[in-house]
Structure 1
Amino acid sequence: MSLPDTIKNILHEGIAIPAHPLALTAERDFDEAIQRRLTRYYLASGAGGIAVAVHSTQFEIREPQVNLLEKVLYTAADEVEKSGKEQFVKVAGICGPTDQAVSEARLAKRYGYHLGLLSMGGLNTLTEEALIERAKAVAEIVPVFGFYLQPAVGGRILSFEFWRKFAAIPNVQAIKIAAFNRYQTLDVVRAVCSSERADEIALYTGNDDNIIADLLTTYQFNINGRLVQKDFRGGLLGHWAVWTHKAARLLDAIKAYKSGDQAGLGDWLTKNIQVTDMNAAIFDPVNRFHGCIPGIHEVLRRQGLLKGTWCLNPNEVLSPGQADEITRVTRAYPDLVDDDFVTTFLQQDRG
């Protein structure tokens, strides 16, 4: 399966891709009506795509007793199809050992997903070479969106050489860098720039602690006497699952800034810290990200997009003081909050 040129062009132009949460009832059953409404919110918000069956959708959907992976993939894809937005980029999360990853890639292909976000999480026993062979197997089925996941939430450190080999895989079309570490981020960007496929791979930030700075930065490397430049085209972010309308407008403003005279950089760097402060309230790094998914849910609950903060894992709840932190940042940075947009959306949404 190859990536259509229209979708590839959209990826390289740069879009906001929110990581889709999972809507549940108080009994922790799948709430399909609310899930569909949430997808419609992302469609209406100005986002350029969605990522489904990823961390924000809860990895427990893959457990046999839950068995929601296919359901959530179908539900989101069906809502996108109903919208008529053929150029809305659909990304499916892909996890697990090679057999599982290949099976999930086939499922993504069945429901018309354009790319598979290939996580390396939970595979610490595999060598880097084995991970490359796994990526090749998935790339034979669906275009690959690589994913550097930070160690604090189940990822692992991967070498520059790994990413150089990864970039050489013909059907790797994009890479999300969520290392939460500038050194490791640099490894991936330099590896892509060192590849003969540098111009074919779109880089997306997943560094929720550094979103705006990532999007503003142009990387330059001397590769065998030739200056190669690369930048982040957009973001695939759990943070952008909330306040998505403002996130999409923020990305548009950054793209306009980079194409203009680039005056006012200091203002953008200040804004970067404001976004990071908001992210800290949602993602709960002070408690090793324990409240990350409930934090996303809490914002959506307050806006009326979700009914509650319930997760499949009953122990996954807001951390003490996290709700107060969310209140603080929403009051501190009202220009980054899309409550008015959501209110209008909910009034107009007919399902």
Structure 2
Amino acid sequence: MIESTVLQKLRSGCVIPAHPLALDGHNKLDARRQRALTRYYLAAGAGGLAVGVHTTQFAIHEPKVGLYRPVLELAAQTAGEATGSEPILIAGILGKTEQALREAQTAVELGYHIGLLSLTALKGKPIDELIDHARCVSEVIPVMGFYLQSTISGMVLPQEFWRRFVELPNVVGIKIAPFHRYQTLDVLEAVALSGRADDVALYTGNDDNIFVDLLTPHMFHDGRREAPLQIAGGLLGQWACWTRRAVEHLETIKQIRETNGPIESELLTLASQLTLANKAIFDADNGFVGCIPGISYVLMRQGLLVNTASLDASETLSPGQAERIDEIVRRYPHLTDNEFVRANADQWLA
């Protein structure tokens, strides 16, 4: 059973970075810099941490790599040491049902509140099997659904799946990250018309459309009534860098939502610039091949990481990607939080 304070925080909306993996020169876990990243996110004002997700590198879930428990444990310990911070701890859970249940139990043992459930291992399975899988995991840990973009997952999840998924009583949220407007609306409409809109916290994972997702007041109709809906916060790889700025942006957006104030055109301009930055960082031109090293490259520029290494040797910066990111930083320095990191990095790395 999830604590009411965690649920309240989740539903109110917060910044949740998708936590990267810090590796040393020998491709081993760099515990010092891994801790520094966690400290950075919490000092920046993030309301939660998502660990063991795509940005943390799915390879840590492989038994032969053996990093799933150590990485989750390190983040939980570091978060527990942070003064005045009680972040929502979200554990990425993947694999077929046996593995997913094992990971869910590990997450519970380490004090994680929610499991972010990836279904990629069940690609091609019927909806009944996907729902049974989700039900089994949700009986171990409260779950957040995850619509991962099909470029990476190879899956398109129809609205029927989401209608049935939100009926599971221990579903507490959904990360909507298909990078696709129609598929995003499939999830939103399913939740809005389910009668559980107040129970299921919606988080954008659409790194290409962050501000618009957060600003849009949705209104759905089922023929009898109107069903309003709002995406509460973001669980994003893009927010794994320049996190202090992300917190400031979400605070501004929440003020607009709470006061029903006007959306200034400057905010939409900023939204477009952030998407332009995401295009370079996530390597959109090359089918997102350099997504994870792109995030690491930004953090390396800031001194928090020493390399862009990945456990999967095929995950490297694409040709010209570093130069494109450098150009974005030069042209749009207001998107970065370089000064904040520069002032605190030594403390986080201590």
Aligned position for 2:134? 135
- Does residue 185 (structure 1) correspond to residue 169 (structure 2)? The answer is no
Aligned position for 2:151? 152
Q: Any residues of structure 2 matched to 1:104-119 within 5 Å, and which?
A: 104-119=103-118
Q: Is the 8 A contact 1:122 1:155 kept in 2?
A: no
Q: Structure 2 CA distance, aligned partners of 1:341 and 1:111?
A: 30
Q: Structure 2 CA distance, aligned partners of 1:166 and 1:261?
A: 31
Shift, 1:328, TM fit: 1.2
Aligned position for 1:284? 283
Q: Is the 8 A contact 1:310 1:317 kept in 2?
A: yes
- Does residue 52 (structure 1) correspond to residue 51 (structure 2)? The answer is yes
Aligned position for 1:302? 301
Aligned position for 1:231? 230
Number of residue pairs the alignment of both structures matches: 350
Aligned position for 1:123? 122
Relative to the length of structure 1, the TM-score reads 0.97
Letter of the structure 2 residue corresponding to residue 196 of structure 1: G
Q: Is the 8 A contact 1:77 1:112 kept in 2?
A: yes
Q: Structure 2 CA distance, aligned partners of 1:336 and 1:107?
A: 37
Aligned position for 1:275? 274
Aligned position for 1:77? 76
Q: Structure 2 CA distance, aligned partners of 1:214 and 1:242?
A: 19
Aligned position for 1:204? 203
Q: Structure 1 CA distance, aligned partners of 2:212 and 2:334?
A: 18
Aligned position for 2:336? 337
- What SS does the corresponding residue of 1:200 show, helix, strand or coil? coil
Q: Deviations over 1:9-28 (max 9, x none)?
A: 10111100000000101110
Aligned position for 2:95? 96
Structure 1 portions without partners, runs of 5+: none
Aligned position for 2:194? 195
Q: Any residues of structure 2 matched to 1:232-251 within 5 Å, and which?
A: 232-251=231-250
How has the CA–CA distance of structure 1 residues 137 and 159 changed in structure 2, closer, same or farther, with 3 Å as cutoff? same
Q: Is the 8 A contact 1:109 1:142 kept in 2?
A: yes
72-81 or 311-320, larger mean C-alpha shift: 311-320
Q: Any residues of structure 2 matched to 1:27-46 within 5 Å, and which?
A: 27-46=26-45
Q: Structure 1 CA distance, aligned partners of 2:124 and 2:161?
A: 15
Q: Deviations over 1:169-190 (max 9, x none)?
A: 0010000000111101001000
Letter of the structure 2 residue corresponding to residue 115 of structure 1: I
Q: Deviations over 1:77-125 (max 9, x none)?
A: 0001111546311000000111111111001100010100001123213
Aligned position for 1:9? 8
Shift, 1:195, TM fit: 0.9
Q: Is the 8 A contact 1:160 1:187 kept in 2?
A: yes
Shift, 1:262, TM fit: 2.6
Letter of the structure 2 residue corresponding to residue 122 of structure 1: A
Q: Structure 2 CA distance, aligned partners of 1:223 and 1:87?
A: 39
Shift, 1:226, TM fit: 1.4
Relative to the length of structure 2, the TM-score reads 0.97
Aligned position for 1:316? 315
The alignment's C-alpha RMSD in Å is: 1.2
Q: Structure 2 CA distance, aligned partners of 1:83 and 1:170?
A: 32
How has the CA–CA distance of structure 1 residues 64 and 347 changed in structure 2, closer, same or farther, with 3 Å as cutoff? closer
Taking only the aligned residue pairs, the percentage that are identical comes to 49
How has the CA–CA distance of structure 1 residues 84 and 133 changed in structure 2, closer, same or farther, with 3 Å as cutoff? farther
Q: Is the 8 A contact 2:44 2:247 kept in 1?
A: yes
Letter of the structure 2 residue corresponding to residue 208 of structure 1: D
Q: Structure 1 CA distance, aligned partners of 2:182 and 2:349?
A: 47
Q: Is the 8 A contact 1:284 1:291 kept in 2?
A: yes
Q: Structure 1 CA distance, aligned partners of 2:35 and 2:102?
A: 25
261-270 or 152-161, larger mean C-alpha shift: 261-270
Q: Is the 8 A contact 2:32 2:349 kept in 1?
A: no
Shift, 1:267, TM fit: 2.0
Letter of the structure 2 residue corresponding to residue 159 of structure 1: P
Q: Structure 2 CA distance, aligned partners of 1:39 and 1:60?
A: 20
Q: Is the 8 A contact 1:148 1:155 kept in 2?
A: no
- What SS does the corresponding residue of 1:232 show, helix, strand or coil? coil
- What SS does the corresponding residue of 1:203 show, helix, strand or coil? strand
Structure 2 portions without partners, runs of 5+: none
Shift, 1:261, TM fit: 4.9
Q: Structure 2 CA distance, aligned partners of 1:349 and 1:332?
A: 28
